[in-house]
Amino acid sequence: MTSAEAAAGAFRTLHGTEPCGVWSAPGRVNLIGEHTDYNDGFVLPFALPHRLAAAGSPRDDKVLTLATLGSDGRIQQADPVRIPDLCPGEPDGWAAYPAGVAWVLREHGIDGGADLVIAGDVPTGAGLSSSAAIECAVALALLGLAGHGDPDRARRAEIARWAQRAENEFVGVPTGVLDQTASLCCVEGHVLFLDVRSGESEQVPFDAEGAGLRVLVIDTRVKHAHGESGYGERRRGTERAAELLGVEALREVTGDGLSSALGTLPAELAPLVRHVVTENDRVVEVARLLREGRMADIGPVLDASHVSMRDDYRISCPELDLAVDSAREAGALGARMTGGGFGGSAIALVRDTDQQAVENAVNAAFEQAGYRKPRLFTAVPSAGAGQDRP
Ligand code: GAF
C-alpha cells in the first residue's frame, strides 16, 4: 500500500467519507553538503522513495483537525485548533509541524480550515527528513484545498522557505532549508545541486544502478532530535565566526582565504569554519564528477566529508563511525553520515557486486559492538512532493 492509500484509508476510517485530495512529500538523503545550508552554501540531496502523505478535505469553520496513522495501525488525533488562534507553542509534539505550516500559510492568505490525516513510511528520527516531509505534504494539501494548482519550480522554492519558517519559528528548531527544498524540488533520477545563497539549482542525473553502483542507507537507529542536539550550538558557532570574519555568511570564505581566516579565529570556532568551507568545495567537486559521468570517483570525497564531520564539526557518534568504517572496510567506495548528525543515518556507495558483503559486514560489526541492529536499504533518487489523487 502506498503512503497516499494509507492516508486516504485512515481518512475514511476517521471521517466516514473520501478525502477531497491526497498530497505527499518524500524524505531525503543528502549525498553531500552537510551544515552548509544555513551558511548560504551548496547541498546535493536526492529524494527517497519513502513518503508522508496528507489526505484532506476543507472545512468552512477555520478549524484544523489533525490525525496521524501510527506504524501500529492506530490513528492518533490531536486536539482541533482554530487557525486564527494558532501561535507558536501550542500544539506541540508531532502536531506542531503541520500546525506550524498552517500558521505560516495564514500570513499568505490561506486560512481556511481543513481535516487532515497523515500517514507514510519515512523513518522518524533517522536523519532522513521526516519532519520536512510532513511540512511539505501539509503545505501542498492546504494550498491545494484552497484551490491552488501544482506549484512551479519557483513557487516550490518559496513554499520550502515557508515550511522552514514553520519549523524554525513555530516548532522552534533552528534548521536550514535543505530538507524542505529537497522534498519539494527533487526529481526522479537526479540529485539536486542547490546554491542556497542564490537559490539557483541544477538537476544532475544520478543513475547509480546504470553505473553498477548502489547507495546503501544505514539507519543506525540512534534517534536524533535537532531541538535537543548540538545542532543549534554549531549553527550559532558558524554565525559567530562569520561575524568575526566580517562576512555575511561562511559561504564567502573560499579555499584560498581559508588558512588566513583560520588564523584569526578562536580555537573552538576554527574547525567549524574549516568544515563548512571544505564541505562546500566537496559538494562542487562531487557535482562536477557526476556531470562527467564519474560516479565511482566520488567515493574519496564522501570519505573526506565524513572525516570532516567527525573531527572538525564533531557531529558524528560511535554508531555512525562504525557504519562508515565497516562499510568501507568491506569494499564500499565511499561512506559518510548524512543529515544533521548526532545519530540517524549514514550512506555508503557500493558496487552492486559488493552490496551483500557490505551489508553483512555492517550488521556483524553492529552485533559485535552490542548496538541495535541497523536498518539497511538501497535508495534511488525518487520524485519530489506532489498531489497523488484528486
Ligand atoms: C538537518 C537540517 F534540517 C538541515 O537544514 C541541514 O542543516 C542538515 O541537518 C545538515 O546538513 O537535516
Residue 335 backbone zone (phi > 0: left; psi -120 to 50: alpha; other: beta): beta
- Which domains can be identified in the chain, with CATH numbers? 3-203 (3.30.230.10), 207-378 (3.30.70.890)
Centroid of ligand 1 to alpha carbon of 27 (angstroms): 12
- pLDDT of the residue at 228: 64
- pLDDT of the residue at 255: 83
Q: Please state the rounded mean pLDDT for residues 22-33.
A: 98
| Average pLDDT score, the chain | 97
- 335 in Cβ contact with 361 (< 8 Å): no
Among 131, 165, 178, 316, which residue has the most ligand 1 atoms within 8 Å of its CB, making it the best to mutate?
A: 178
- pLDDT of the residue at 206: 98
Of the chain, the percentage scoring pLDDT greater than 90 comes to 96
Degrees to nearest 5, angle at CA 387 with 112 and 378: 130
Among 34, 37, 134, 183, which residue has the most ligand 1 atoms within 8 Å of its CB, making it the best to mutate?
A: 37
- pLDDT of the residue at 389: 87
- pLDDT of the residue at 224: 74
Q: What confidence tens digit (pLDDT) does each residue in 100-122 have?
A: 999 999 999 999 999 999 999 99
Output the residue whose Cα is nearest ligand 1's atom 11.
34
Report field, pTM of the whole predicted structure over 0.90: yes
Among 35, 124, 173, 192, which residue has the most ligand 1 atoms within 8 Å of its CB, making it the best to mutate?
A: 35
The alpha helices in the chain, defined as continuous H runs, are: 3-15, 96-107, 130-145, 153-165, 178-185, 231-245, 258-264, 270-291, 299-307, 318-329, 355-369
Q: What confidence tens digit (pLDDT) does each residue in 372-386 have?
A: 999 999 999 999 999
- 353 in Cβ contact with 322 (< 8 Å): no
**In angstroms, what CA-CA distances link 280 with 150, 266, 277, 305, 337?**
32, 22, 5, 10, 16
Cα–Cα distance, 111 to 78 (Å, whole number): 19
Centroid of ligand 1 to alpha carbon of 175 (angstroms): 6
- pLDDT of the residue at 225: 66
- Give the active site residue among 37, 179, 219, 303: 179
Output the residue whose Cα is nearest ligand 1's atom 2.
175
Identify the burial level of 110 via C-beta atoms within 10 angstroms of its C-beta, where 0-12 means exposed, 13-18 middle and 19 or more buried. Answer: buried
Please state whether the peptide bond connecting residue 123 to the residue before it is cis, i.e. omega within 30 degrees of 0. Answer: no
- pLDDT of the residue at 229: 72
Residue 390 binned pLDDT confidence (cut-offs 50, 70, 90): confident
- 132 in Cβ contact with 124 (< 8 Å): no
Written as nine digits, the cell of 256 is: 584560498
Q: Please state the rounded mean pLDDT for residues 291-320.
A: 98
Atom of ligand 1 nearest to the CA of 231: 9
Atom of ligand 1 nearest to the CA of 173: 3
Q: What is the DSSP letter of 128?
A: S
- pLDDT of the residue at 329: 98
Centroid of ligand 1 to alpha carbon of 339 (angstroms): 5
Query: What are the φ and ψ backbone dihedral angles of 385, each rounded to 5 degrees?
Result: -65, 150
Atom of ligand 1 nearest to the CA of 127: 12
Pocket (CB within 6 angstroms of ligand 1): 30, 34-35, 37-38, 175-176, 178-179, 339-340
Cα–Cα distance, 385 to 187 (Å, whole number): 9
Q: Is 262 helix (H, G, I), strand (E, B) or coil?
A: helix
- Kindly report the three-state secondary structure assignment for every residue of 295-345: HHHHHHHHHHHHHHHHHHHCCCCHHHHHHHHHHHHCCCCEEEEECCCCCCE
Q: Please state the rounded mean pLDDT for residues 312-320.
A: 97
* Prediction ipTM score: 0.99
The verdict on whether 303 is a catalytic residue reads no
Q: What confidence tens digit (pLDDT) does each residue in 134-169 have?
A: 999 999 999 999 999 999 999 999 999 999 999 999
Q: What confidence tens digit (pLDDT) does each residue in 161-202 have?
A: 999 999 999 999 999 999 999 999 999 999 999 999 999 999
Q: What confidence tens digit (pLDDT) does each residue in 339-354 have?
A: 999 999 999 999 999 9
Centroid of ligand 1 to alpha carbon of 311 (angstroms): 18
Centroid of ligand 1 to alpha carbon of 2 (angstroms): 27
Output the residue whose Cα is nearest ligand 1's atom 1.
340
Q: What is the DSSP letter of 129?
A: -
Q: What confidence tens digit (pLDDT) does each residue in 206-259 have?
A: 999 999 999 999 999 998 766 567 999 999 999 999 999 999 999 999 888 899
Helix axes 178-185 and 130-145, enclosed angle (nearest 10): 60
Centroid of ligand 1 to alpha carbon of 179 (angstroms): 7
Identify the burial level of 134 via C-beta atoms within 10 angstroms of its C-beta, where 0-12 means exposed, 13-18 middle and 19 or more buried. Answer: buried
Of the chain, the percentage scoring pLDDT greater than 70 comes to 99
